[in-house]
Structure 1
Amino acid sequence: MIRSEILREVAPILRDQLVVCNIGLPSQELHMIDDQPTNFYMLGTMGLASSIGLGLALSQPKTVVVIDGDGSVLTNLGTLPTIANNVADNYILLIVDNGSYGSTGDQPTYAGKKTSLTKVAEACGCENVVECRAEETGEVLQKAIDAKRMTIIVCKCESGNVKVPVITKDPVVIRDRFMAAVAS
C-alpha cells in the first residue's frame, strides 16, 4: 500500500478527530479523499505538523491525530523528545514511513535505509510506540484512539504518489474553519 491508500482507509476513522496533516502531498491527498473542517492542512512548514499537533493536544481535551511522514519527522527530530516529555493522552502521531520524501520526487530518506523511527522514538522516551504494516494502520489507529493514551504509530508502507490537485482553499479559510471545529 502507498500513503494515499492508507489515508483512504483511515479517513472514516479520522472524521471525529482533530487532524493536523503534514505538508505537501499528504495534505493534498487527505483533502481530496475527505475534506473536513476538523482537518488542518499544512501548506508551508515541513517538519512542524507533529509539534503543532502536540501543542493543540496539550491545550484542549479533544483527540488530536497528526499525520506525518518519515522525511518530515527526520527534519525535526527534536519533536520526538518533546513529545516524550510532554505527555498528552489525547495525542496520536501517525508517521507514514514510506522511506522517501514523497512530495519532492521520492528521494530516499534515512528511514528508508538504516534509521528506525520506531527505535528513535523509543530512545527519546516515547512510551507507547507501535510499528505496523500499512494494511494494519486502520485497526492500530482505532485502538490508539480508543485507548486514550498518547501513541506514536510508525506505519511502514511503499513509496509512491497519486496525482492530486493542489488545495485551492485560502490558508486563512483553512485556519478559521479548523479553529471553529476546535472550539465547538
Structure 2
Amino acid sequence: MKRFDCMKALARRLSDELVILSLGASVDEWYNAAPHMRDASLFQQQLGCVSAQALGLAAGLPHRRIVSLDTDGGMMFNLGILATIANEQPNNLFIVVWDNECYQSIGGPPTHTASGRVDIAAIARGAGVTRAHTAHTVEEFDKHCAEGLAAREPYLVVAKVSGTVQPDIKRKHSDGREDKYIFVRHVERTENIVIMGPSEHN
C-alpha cells in the first residue's frame, strides 16, 4: 500500500489533534494529504526524536490527542522510547510508524525491517505497549486509526508501505525554523496559552 493513501485516510479523521512528523519524503506527502492540519503539524524532526517529542507533548497537554508519524528508520534509532511510553502510559498518544523497509531520503539503503526478521509492532508489545499492530492494507490501517484515536492508552500501528513517493505534489516551502513558530503559535492560539512570549529588553 502507498503511504500517501494511508495519510489521506488518517487526515480524514483529524480535526484538533497535534501531529509530530519525521524527516524525508513523508513531510511533503503529509503537507499535501492533510492541508487542514498544516499549522497543527510539527515537521522535520530528527530520526529517533519523533515519538519522544510526541510523548513530551502528550504529557504537557494531557487533554489533547497527539499523533506521532514516525518511520521504521527513526524508531530503530530509539527503541528505548517504547519502554518509556509503556511505563508512562499516556492516554492520548497515537503512534504511526511508516515502515517502507528503507532509508528513502538517502537513496534507499535497507532498514532492519527489510530482513523480514524484525517486527516493530512485536518489539513494542515486548516493551509493554500492548496495543501495537501491523497494517498491510489501507482498510486495515484506517481501522487502526479509528481505534487508536479513540484509545485511552498508547496505541501504535506499523503501516507496511511501499517505497513509492507520491509524484507531482506541492513541495512544502517553509524551513524548520519557520515550521516551529507556525506550530507553536497554533498551540498558543488553540490552547489560549503563551509558550514563546515577547523578547525582554534590559
TM, length-normalised to structure 2: 0.83
Secondary structure of the 1:129 match is strand
Residues 131, 154 of structure 1: 8 Å contact kept: yes
Cα offsets for 1:43-83 (capped at 9, x unmatched): 5x122111100100011120001011111111121221121
What does residue 183 of structure 2 align with? 178
Q: Distance in 2 between matches of 1:98 and 1:64?
A: 23
Letter in 2 for 1:139: K
Cα gap change, 1:106 to 1:160, in 2 (>3 Å):
farther
Residues 102, 160 of structure 1: 8 Å contact kept: no
Give 1 or 2 for the bigger CA radius of gyration.
2
Cα gap change, 1:162 to 1:104, in 2 (>3 Å):
farther
**Structure 1 regions of 5+ residues with no counterpart?**
none
**Structure 2 regions of 5+ residues with no counterpart?**
191-202
Cα gap change, 1:134 to 1:102, in 2 (>3 Å):
farther
> What RMSD, in angstroms, separates the aligned Cα atoms of the two structures?
1.8
What does residue 141 of structure 1 align with? 145
What does residue 26 of structure 2 align with? 26
Cα offsets for 1:90-139 (capped at 9, x unmatched): 00111111212122222211112111101111111112212222312122
TM, length-normalised to structure 1: 0.90
Letter in 1 for 2:177: V
What does residue 122 of structure 2 align with? 119
Structure richer in strand, relative to its length: 1
Runs (4+) off by over 6 Å: none
What does residue 56 of structure 1 align with? 57
What is the count of residue pairs matched by the alignment? 183
Secondary structure of the 2:173 match is coil
What does residue 73 of structure 1 align with? 75
The more displaced of 156-165 and 119-128 is: 156-165
Q: Report the identity percentage.
A: 24
